[in-house]
Structure 1
Amino acid sequence: MNVLIITRNFYPYNNIGSFRINSFAKYFRKAGHSVTVVAEGERDEAITWNDCDIHYIKDPIMTPKYLHNLEQKNKKWTLRRVIRALESRIFFGGPCIWRAKTCKKVEELFQKNNFDVVLSSYGPLTPHALVMKVLKKRYKFFWVADMRDEMSKLPHYSKIHKKRLAFYERNILEKADLVLSVSKPLIDDFKTMCSHDRFLEVRNGYDYEECYEINFQPQFTMGYIGRFYWMATPDNFFKAFSELIEEGRLPENSKIKIVGNFKKLDVPDRISSNVIQCKNVPHEEAIKISITEVDTLLMMYQSGRKGVYSGKLFDYLARNKPILALYDPNDVVAPLLAETKAGFIVDDADKEGIKNMIMKCYQIWKNKEILPRDWDKIKQYSRRNQVQILLDYLSNNLATSG
């Protein structure tokens, strides 16, 4: 197959959206297919990455690195961010200059190549909208739209924004030859917005060797690796942790290590010396920290988003440390933790439940225990195996249609 991927998130950017699309490109190529990627970058350039041809397109208004630096410094408004905010309200299809430049590049590539498959990624809208423009040019290809998570039903969008986005979302769902998402609940929701059943569940995953060895820190240390998104906060967790120390149930020197978050956190004075906040690090270093410097891996996710996995969950699976998830016990994370035997889940609103789960993780550390992970189940969630689900589908369906 000759595959074109259109995305805003791609290597070298350190975010979960990039890791997902990186894996599609890398494992398509390792399977012997030709892969070309058009992605947002810091400059207009073409490179080779994992034997894939990558074409980076710069957005002159705001590059990913510029935005990341603003977020690190907690600068919400600069002239460029004001321009981008106005642009997003006037030109709803995404950054207009980047979109125009990318569309031109995609057309150039189509004039030189016969692409069998085009995969567009969550952007949330722009890459999919670019494919719909290409379709109007009468090029023939199999379109895979990777929706990943919700689009118009993302909770933090305004009603007007959701309504406008839903119009485009229905068109994407209807016209795509195959729609990907990360969970059955999300797929079931997408199905209500279109008239077909061309959906495939491809979850996120981990992309490193499974870690079977285990080490224990001198003092009990829980770690959260990554950002706190939107309304997700560790407030109840901090309160539960603080009370356990006050009650003498946890040692005074117990630690919480937070790596990569730049959202301001409300840390109670009682545990200010117990909470260690570290700057953002490359993904490979984050994996190393979570293997060698913590005893329990923390997940905290906002309520109200059904069927959505935190990307860090899959990274955590293969690290052989207990996972403590503050998450809706009736959502998709609970059965995944149960089948892999990789950790525990508790509702973020249940402070006593949180305290009990912290103590369970503490006892595992104190007794130097290792959870009986089901490694065969866990290996299903390697990125290679998740991408293979899509490769198998394309192999069967493109051969049939041909």
Structure 2
Amino acid sequence: MQKVLILTYYWPPASGPGVQRFLKFCKYLPEFGWKPYVVTVENGTYSSVDETLLKDIPEQVQVIKTRTNEPFGIYNRLTGKEKKSGTVGMLNMDSGQNPIKQMSLYARANYFIPDARKGWNRYAYKAAKAVIEKENINIIITTGPPHSTHLIGKRLKENLGVRWLADFRDPWTNIFYNEALPRTLNTQKKDKTLEDSVLKSADKVTVVSDGLKDEFADRTEPTVIYNGFDVDDLAYQPWEDKNRKFTLSHVGNLMPGQNIEELWQALKELKDEYEEFGAQIKLSFTGNVDDGILASLDKYDLTDMAHIDGYVPHLEATKAMMTADMLLFVIPDTKRNELIITGKLFEYIASRTPILGIGPTDGNAAQILRNAHRNPMVDFSDKADIKKQLLVAFTKWQEADAPFKHDEKDLEKFSRKGLTGQLAHLLDELNAEKVKA
């Protein structure tokens, strides 16, 4: 069996799409002839943790954890947050901050390039070098964000001659939350130089969307490997009886860019126009919710409809997807958001629950929804269409004896096992190139 070393900051007990991507790759890589070794951080700063994910780490995967040195401990002490917490994108990091938060944002934006996890690099490099030399590993993978992880891969390639695959789950310099950071022109230039150096140095580059492939195409030839769903995580049967209230659910974190006024206005108008709608709808939020969104719910008199669970373990999150009557999917309203897909979209689709998608109608996520035969994406400003999709789904719920579910057509192409096969093929190519060299 061939060996591959994976460097990833996000690993259980951290939670989120970044964790799921490589946890699932590691689960299925041995079936394709590859034994994974993982270098990760011992005590990272995460927005949320899921201890249940620890049991999902495959027995055959050797995990090496290292120290790290990050600024979040100091920041959290100054702002009164928990020691190991970290922000989710720009969750609750709006411009109206107190002076300490404003100074922290400026420091984060301009003194930690490309990101505030770069303090992990020297520890991770040392650990990776030791594993490579001990196990005679010739191929490595780095995955970002944090994109500082790719700088470890670049150094390992330069110093040890390993073949290197760089995996991008999000854009680098054009990632959406950079718009909210007070970055200087010099910072932006330095960050772009680092991005270019990684894209041009990596032997192979993988991305999660066609739009991200296009963004990098002038500097490399990326391969698209989607995030996906694992059938083992969706082993729940839908409820035999439909919910007592029509349940519109958002599963995952809701950030400032997802505070869509037209959505709240549409819900408010439906509540006022149809007495039954107001009495029989439940807004369910599973995950962290930005304070600005909570304020909007209050502004539009929707708080009485809302039920906020906060963070839950992954399997509970997928169960929420399976048992909802409609799932809310909102692309952040930011520049270049046509590239954004998010990992949960594939689990949304695999749950077979109807989806209300709000975002760019010509974006990558919209195309995936079309390919999966789901309702078309609704533009942020199209309140009328948002109301229409909500009312149609609510009416079907009223009339049906059991929950409506889409069929399973074309779901296999988004399975984690099949996507791991695509990654294994690239590793096989790198291995063949190494042998020839």
Task: Report the TM-score range of the alignment, normalised by the length of the smaller protein.
Answer: 0.7 to 0.9
Secondary structure at the residue paired with 1:121?
strand
Match of 2:64? 55
CA displacement, residues 200-256 of structure 1 (integer Å, 9 cap, x when unaligned): 100111123456953321111100011113422143212101100101172423111
- Secondary structure of the 1:362 match is helix
Provide the rounded CA distance (Å) in 1 between the counterparts of 2:235 and 2:371. 18
Aligned to 2:177: 156
1:281 aligns with 2:312: yes
The letter of the residue matching 2:317 is: A
> Aligned equivalents of 1:229 and 1:144: distance in 2?
30
1:1-400 residue pairs with structure 2 within 5 A? 1-42=2-43, 49-50=57-58, 51-61=60-70, 62=72, 66-68=83-85, 86=107, 89-92=110-113, 94=115, 95-137=117-159, 139-157=160-178, 158=183, 160=185, 161-192=187-218, 194=219, 196-197=220-221, 199-209=222-232, 210=234, 213-215=237-239, 216-248=242-274, 250-264=277-291, 265=293, 266-267=296-297, 268=299, 270-292=301-323, 294-303=324-333, 304=335, 305-368=337-400, 370-373=404-407, 375-396=408-429, 398-399=431-432
Matched residue SS, 2:258:
coil
CA distance in 2, matches of 1:337, 1:91: 37
Q: Indicate how the Cα distance of structure 1 residues 322 and 100 shifts in structure 2: closer, same or farther if over 3 A, else same.
A: same
**SS at structure 2 position matched to 1:10:** coil
Bigger drift between 274-283 and 152-161 goes to: 152-161
SS in 1 for 2:285: strand
CA deviation vs aligned residue, 1:18-41 (integer Å, no higher than 9, x gap): 111212222223434221111123
Residues 332 and 359, structure 2, Cα contact 8 Å, conserved in 1: yes
Structure 2 vs 1, CA of residues 202 and 401 (structure 1 numbering), >3 Å: closer, same or farther?
Answer: same
Separation in structure 2 between the aligned mates of residue 56 and residue 84 of structure 1, nearest angstrom: 28
Distance 2:263 2:340 in 1: 21
User: How far did residue 87 of structure 1 move?
Assistant: 6.7
CA RMSD of aligned residues (A): 3.0
Quick check: 28-37 or 11-20, which moved more?
28-37
- 2: CA distance between counterparts of 1:361 and 1:367? 10
Q: Distance in 2 between matches of 1:77 and 1:318?
A: 43
SS of match in other structure, 1:218: coil
Q: CA deviation at 1:180?
A: 0.5
Q: Deviations over 1:2-59 (max 9, x none)?
A: 100111111221111111121222222343422111112328xxx9931211112232
Q: What number of residue pairs does the alignment pair up?
A: 393
Q: Secondary structure of 1:377's partner?
A: coil
In 2, the alpha carbon distance for the partners of 1:73 and 1:168 equals: 26
Give, as a single letter, the amino acid of the residue that structure 1 aligns with 2:341: Y
State the identity as a percent: 21
Distance 2:405 2:373 in 1: 7
Q: 1:329 to 1:343 in 2, by over 3 A?
A: same
**For the residues of structure 2 that align with 1:253 and 1:52, how far apart are their CA atoms?**
48
Contact 2:268 2:300 in 1 (8 A): no
In 2: Cα distance, 1:212 partner to 1:36 partner? 31
One-letter amino acid of the counterpart of residue 261, structure 1: N
Give, in whole Å, the separation in 2 of the partners of 1:213 and 1:127: 39
**Amino acid of the structure 2 residue aligned with 1:387:** T
Are the counterparts in 2 of residues 5 and 119 from structure 1 also a CA contact under 8 Å?
yes
CA contact (8 A) 1:182 1:203 kept: yes
In 2: Cα distance, 1:261 partner to 1:93 partner? 25
2:140 touches 2:165 (CA, 8 Å); kept in 1? yes
Indicate the structure whose relative CO is greater, using CA pairs within 8 Å and at least 6 residues apart: 2
Residue ranges of structure 2 left out of the alignment (5+ in a row): 45-53, 77-81
After superposition, the C-alpha distances for 1:59-107 in whole angstroms (9 at most, x for unaligned) are 2444798443777996988999977974763352554542222222122
Range with greater deviation from structure 2 (118-127 or 262-271): 262-271
User: Would the alpha carbon gap of residues 345 and 9 (structure 1) be closer, same or farther in structure 2, given more than 3 Å must change?
Assistant: same
Residue deviations 1:131-156, cap 9 Å, x none? 1111231x232211001221111233
Greater shift, 74-83 or 281-290, is seen at 74-83
